[in-house]
Structure 1
Amino acid sequence: MAFMVSLSFGVTQVPLIYVFGTMTCEEYYRHHQLPPLGTPAYEARCNIHSIEASTARSVALLGCGTTLFGVANLFSTGWTIKVWGIKRALLITTAWPAVRLAIQNVGVMTGAGLGIIIIQLSQIITVFGGPAGYLLALNSFATEIVLPVERTATIGRLTGCAMFGTALGYFAGGLLSDWFGIIAPFRVTLVLFCISTVYGYLALPYIPLSEEVEKKASKNLSGFFDPLKMFVPRKWLLRSGNVQREYGVLLLGIGAFMAVFATGYIPTLLQMYATDVFGFGASDNSKLISLNFIIRATYLTFAFPAIISTGRKWLDRRGKKSKVHESSKAETDHESENMLSAGEANADEPGEPLGRTNTSQSGKAEQNESFAFDLFYTRYSLILDGVLTSLATFTTHSWQMYAVAVVIPFAAGTGSAAKGTMLQMCTPDQRTDALSAISLLEMVARLSTTSLFGLVFSGFAEVGRPNLTFAVNGGVAVVGFVVLLFARFPPDGAVRYTKDFAQDEELEGSPR
């Protein structure tokens, strides 16, 4: 499903820019005299500054609309999941883009200025179905149908499969335009979205809403903003009886933002640097970015899950040497069996490792140790990403750009590991909000990095040192690593401090 829908979204990305240029040119010559047919001026009739500037403005407006409505789509999908269920929400996020593509087909056939307006207005439909919402729904779906220990790896696999689809979509869109005309990618994409929706309806199982989610689901629009509440520091009751606020979720969110902020501009930076310094053309850049996407997708799909599994076992072996674990080994094994039979809705599962339950403290310690590697990976993949990115500062030959494109993806998975860690820090009924919160931060980070690092690259290019942009990217990743060093799970034995605790303490007269 991730591959198919990402393929569908990717097919029209390249042709859309060309379509806007063509329609802008058509609109321009509705009001200006065409050069004589067969002359060099006629062949280059669209290569004038006023048309190029108008095309850039139209594309920028389209991008702003896509981003704005994409953020709204993230909130609407999260709300839809809690009210109507995950499968229905997922099908909605694939069905509405088909409607949008039908409208865009009309816009392409209309052409000129009116066609541009039709395509731009069609982006409003992104509120109900877009790439941000479908990835949220798909990740939420996956976290419900796999075992808790497999969630982080599954999120990585989904991201890898989506990247495979995106890479193939970019490639297929260009070929379809060349072979069958510019309208072909839009018609093929419409069919692909319809196929994806039918496939999802027939192949994916229905998942009923848990009692906790149904009870807390807000049927009004106020539920849209629940993801933002995830970053509010929560109170926890410690074993000692003291109450303290934990900032792990907030710091994890900041670290995830810094990770995307540091790495989100890399694909664009690779193209711009290769073009300016080594004279790469469109085909060379296409090969460069396709290679980067394919390596990253392969790593996330196959290597990342194995690393997470192996890392957890390694960290567990270290944890078994502690006195606490040795004294409660038998009780831990018994508790693990109970955990697996309890079901995901049970508060004893790893999704709520430190919740207010009747499990033993040793059982909680074991669960926390099992998933601590997710946070470990989030930290050190980010610092590795910073180091590998900084090495690109020293590139002096064109072949080294391909080496950089191959090496950088081996630090991928920070976002997937952050999502997996976030799921362990929240209660089962907060999973969708947790994924929405991380996705929202990543979206804002991508927007910010494109604008800010575009200025940084421009500034360094003016003084003849565009390669220093890679060093700045690496520096931002190091800052994110430092922030993540302070992120942690709540202390062993701690439980969430809720209103129920406060009421119980008042009735029993126990000190806080």
Structure 2
Amino acid sequence: MTCEAYYETHEEPPLDPQHDRCSVDDIEASTSLAVALLSASTTLFGVVNLFVTAWTIKKLGVKNALAIQVFWPAVRLAVQNIGVMVGSSTGILIVQSSQIITIIGGPSGYMLTLNSFVTEVVESKERTGALGKLMGCAMFGTSIGYLAGGLIADRFGIIWPFRVTLSLFLLSTLYAIIFLPTIPASEEASARKSQPSAGISRFFGPLKLLAPQKWILRDGRIQTEYGALILGIGVFAGVLATGYIPVLLQMFSTDVLHFKTRENSYLISLYSCVRGVFLTLVFPRCISYGREWLARRRETQAARDLSGSTTPLIDSDVPELPTEPREFAANQAEEPDEPTKLANKDEQFDFDLLYTKYSLLADGILTGLATFVTQGWQVFVVAALLPFASGTGASAKGTILQMCPAGSRTDALSAITLVEMIARLSTTTLFGIVFAGLAKLGRPELVFACNAAVALLGFGVLLLSRFPPNGSSRWEENEEALDDGNE
């Protein structure tokens, strides 16, 4: 459409089958800015959509919220179909304007709803892996979508992927209504508990979970912990560095390597497919094995501290105290023969935070390698390697769920998703402009080096994030316990 708009005011070049009439620096720069604006508006409205979705979940339940979040994108696609048919500058304006519908329903909303759904139906130790699997399934859909979209566009025209997508959103709405179970109100009550009373604080309530929190240490001292805040800053830097990569790969391949629609669909399909396989099959096992490895390492270190030997401690046969409300109900009829011990939640989930840190380091290294791409096959290699640094978002969500109170899961997911959305808005705007500027200078590949530098900065920030010390308790929880006792 930017090509059509360009030749409305410029003379058409001589017909040459070997030359792409749209391969002009001004058109490429205009396309980059238009895509950046489109992505930025999607992200900006998506940020507002997060608050709307969190409110909807608490008022109408997870299932109804999901149905709403997948229906309104269908309405948006109907408008975009008109824009693509009109084409040129008017078509671009219609497509850009349609993004305001994202406030009511869009990708950020239905992913938040799905994440909230998963946290309610799986055990705490399985949540991080389940969030990764959910993201992996989304990547499989993205992979098939890009591949099918490219093939359909080449065969039937650019309008047909939009029509197919409209149909798929309508089918998704019916699927959510008919097949997904309704979560009982008793399980959603804990999410409503964290709802602020009124006013502007209700809108920005989830952000409170990222604020520094007071904790009471084992020796009775009160200490302020910044782990959640630093985690949020690190996640912001990570998404700022990597959130634009899928779009950037397409822009770079189109402008520098002269990829067409089909080649770009293969490229992003490969990237999304490998990422989907990794998140669905490899990531949960990495988290599980990593937790076991870290637990064995701590046991060995504890044995050295106590006896000076390298003999690991033998696991105790003393049963752990349940950490989930539903586990109490299942076990209330059983009288343990042995005294119980508290499960050390910090030890169990420390690896999630460790994974978040070093996956971002791997992201920075692999993204930096893309700076040296000069041939088509090389960008496919990069697209196949980058997904192996995936999982930062899923592990960060699993980590924040352990840092927040059990009754604030929806708000915790909203908070970390909000950080990701703001970072995605920033990266789309920032690196879209950077790429356009570097493209005019003839050095578009340097944008990958800029991405890598920001990722390494985020890794440095995440190194400062930690869980509260072992044996400590949240200050607010102690205040509530005192209030209950006074009553």
The TM-score normalised by the length of structure 2 is 0.81
Distance change >3 Å, CA 53–CA 410, structure 1 → 2: closer
Question: Displacement, 1:94?
Answer: 0.8
| 2:379 pairs with 1:388 | no
Q: Is the 8 A contact 1:361 1:492 kept in 2?
A: no
Matches within 5 A, 1:255-270: 255-270=234-249
The one of 100, 103, 110 aligned to 1:134: 110
**What residue in structure 2 maps to residue 144 of structure 1?**
120
Structure 1 residue runs of 5 or longer lacking an equivalent are 1-17, 345-359
- Is contact 2:244-2:431 (8 Å) kept? yes
Q: Tell me which of 62, 72, 77 is aligned to 1:86.
A: 62
TM superposition shift of 1:279: 5.3
Counterpart of 2:77 (choices 96, 101, 106) is 101
Residues in 2 aligned to 1:146 and 1:166: alpha-carbon distance in whole angstroms: 25
Q: 2:152 aligns with which of 168, 176, 196?
A: 176
**Residue in structure 2 matched with residue 351 of structure 1 by the alignment:** none
| C-alpha separation in 2, matches of 1:395 and 1:120 | 32
One-letter code of the match for 2:182? Y
CA pair 399-377 structure 1, distance change in 2 beyond 3 A: same
Matched, 1:70 2:57: no
| Residue 395 of structure 1, CA deviation | 4.6
Q: Which residue of 2 aligns with 1:317?
A: 296
- Match for 2:210: what amino acid? F
* Partner residue in 2 for 1:376: 354
What is the Cα deviation at residue 276 of structure 1?
A: 6.0
Deviation at 1:115, TM superposition (A): 5.8
**In structure 2, distance between residues paired with 1:465 and 1:451:** 19
CA distance in 2, matches of 1:439, 1:248: 17
Q: Distance in 2 between matches of 1:228 and 1:288?
A: 36
- Assess if the C-alpha contact under 8 Å between 2:53 and 2:109 holds in 1: yes
CA RMSD of aligned residues (A): 3.9
Which residue number corresponds to residue 273 of structure 2?
294
CA distance in 1, matches of 2:266, 2:180: 35
Partner Cα separation in structure 2 for residue 176 and residue 494 of structure 1: 57
Identity %: 52
Classify 1:312/1:48 alpha carbon distance in 2 versus 1 (closer, same or farther; 3 Å). closer
Q: How far apart in 1 are the matches of 2:115 and 2:354?
A: 21
Distance 1:481 1:211, change over 3 A: same
**Distance in structure 2 (CA, Å) of the matches to 1:460 and 1:50:** 13
Distance 1:244 1:286, change over 3 A: same
Q: 1:165 to 1:46 in 2, by over 3 A?
A: same
Q: Which of 89, 99, 111 pairs up with 1:123?
A: 99
For 1:375 and 1:412, locate their aligned partners in 2 and report how far apart those are by CA, in whole Å: 14
Quick one: distance in 2 between partners of 1:391 and 1:181?
35
For residue 336 of structure 2, what is the aligned residue in structure 1? none
- Give distance in 2, aligned partners of 1:433 and 1:313: 29
Aligned to 1:341: 327
CA gap 1:114/1:430 in 2 versus in 1, 3 angstroms:
same
Answer with 388-397 or 127-136: which moved more: 388-397
Q: What do residues 423-457 of structure 1 show as CA deviations (whole Å, max 9, x unaligned)?
A: 11111221111111111211222232233334555
Q: Which amino acid aligns with 1:96?
A: W
Which whole-Å CA distance do the structure 2 matches of 1:178 and 1:211 have between them? Answer: 50
Query: How far is 1:248 from its partner?
Result: 0.5
Give the distance between the partners of 1:288 and 1:377, measured in 2 at CA.
Answer: 27
Whole-angstrom distance in 1 between the partners of 2:275 and 2:129: 15
Give the equivalent residue in structure 1 for 2:191.
213
**Distance in 1 of aligned mates of 2:461 and 2:99:** 36
Structure 2: which 5+ runs fail to align? Answer: 307-311, 331-338
Q: Is the aligned partner of 1:447 residue 2:425? A: yes
TM-score, with length taken from structure 1? 0.78
